Amino acid sequence: MRCLVTGAAGFVGSSLCDALLGQGYEVIGLDCFLDYYPRFIKERNLSAARDFERFTFAEANLLEADLPALLQDAEIVFHLAAQPGVRASWGTTFDRYSDNNVLATQRLLEACRTTRPRRIVFASSSSVYGNPDHLPVKESDHTPPVSPYGVTKLAAEHLCGLYYTNFQVPTVCLRYFTVYGPRQRPDMAFHRFIRSGLLREPIEILGDGNQTRDFTYIDDVVQVTRASADAGTPGNTYNVGGGARWALRDVLSTLERVLNISLEIRRGPAAPGDVRDTFADTSLARRELGFAPSTTVEQGLRNEADWLIGSLDGGPGADPP
């Protein structure tokens, strides 16, 4: 089976490519190397996939790519390409978010009207929920995002729904809740915390440390993303969360145990657009997709720490010379 993965050089995209290739699929990876973080990190993410003859890589932006050619004979489309970052989505850079998260999704869906893949899986975000009135949140709950990034992810979800309702383009949306693990983006909290701890540098947190998140390990995200291509009901949206609600202060205490060090914590004010709490009701994904997250936060932190230790020692996560 041939699959197209957009955002193939990113954290989740590259991990998904590796899993698909390991299962025997032919994969076309698409990425335009947005400059949100250094290109060498994304090139490194692709290194394992490039060892497979069944992997073809195309460097192109969805806004300009020859999508009919890339989609030819693709049975499954995993649409993970996006401009990430809640805090950077304010101000003059918003056009990057509207272009890469909304317009790019519309262009891909329009192309799929003709090529007719069996399933299009769209990676959305828990950011669409904003600050919910109650927890855990269900897919049917109100979605008032509190950041421009969340607005663009919700708009892309609506586009997926419109193309399914009007043209029977078989879309499935997954709302990821704070994905972490090896290859995590350098701007994300766990990556920054672990790296600072290993280098004995202060860790800066924004807010009082009592904010909570539903952290989801990368392997569990890859598993359910793959499963949604077969078992996901077209037109449906599914929460993808790790199954536990963690306060940031408890994560930092666990990280001290994992690294066997004492962390120096510095606190700053909460950033605009950062939600207070997240926690997913994943019963629909469990029922329809067989989703059963199996990696605890402590084990996931150990795995990510091992990967980052390799980077500091010149291993697979190493910084460029």
Is the predicted pLDDT of residue 321 greater than 60, yes or no? Answer: no
Q: What's the burial of 175, exposed, middle or buried (CB within 10 Å: 0-12/13-18/19+)?
A: buried
Q: Specify the pLDDT at position 320.
A: 46
Number of Cβ within a 10 Å radius of residue 119: 20
Closest alpha carbon to 175 in 245, 234, 127, 103: 127
Give me the half-sphere count of Cα atoms (radius 13 Å) on the Cβ side of residue 109: 26
Confidence of residue 213 (pLDDT cuts 50, 70, 90): very high
Is the predicted pLDDT of residue 50 greater than 70, yes or no? Answer: yes
How many whole angstroms separate alpha carbon 259 and alpha carbon 182?
16
Those residues whose C-beta lies under 8 Å from the C-beta of residue 126, and which sit 6 or more positions away, are 137, 175, 176, 177, 178, 214, 239, 241, 278, 280
How many whole angstroms separate alpha carbon 297 and alpha carbon 179?
11
The torsion angles phi and psi of 215, rounded to 5 degrees, stand at: -90, 135
Q: Specify the pLDDT at position 310.
A: 87
Closest alpha carbon to 236 in 164, 176, 148: 164
Greatest alpha-carbon span in the chain: 57
Alpha helices in 119-217 (DSSP H): 148-167, 189-198
Confidence of residue 314 (pLDDT cuts 50, 70, 90): low
Those residues whose C-beta lies under 8 Å from the C-beta of residue 311, and which sit 6 or more positions away, are 317, 318, 319
Q: Specify the pLDDT at position 271.
A: 87
Chain segment 86-145, per-residue pLDDT in tens? 999 999 999 999 999 999 999 999 999 999 999 999 999 999 999 999 999 999 999 999
Residues classed as catalytic:
149
Identify the structural domains of the chain with CATH numbers, from first to last: 2-183+216-242+280-293 (3.40.50.720)
Is the predicted pLDDT of residue 297 greater than 80, yes or no? Answer: yes
Q: What's the mean per-residue pLDDT of the chain?
A: 95
Closest alpha carbon to 280 in 150, 148, 134: 134
Confidence of residue 313 (pLDDT cuts 50, 70, 90): low
How many whole angstroms separate alpha carbon 239 and alpha carbon 174?
6
Concatenate the DSSP letters of all residues of 226-284 into one string: HHHHHHPPTT-EEEE--S--EEHHHHHHHHHHHHTS---EEEEPPPTT--SB--B--HH
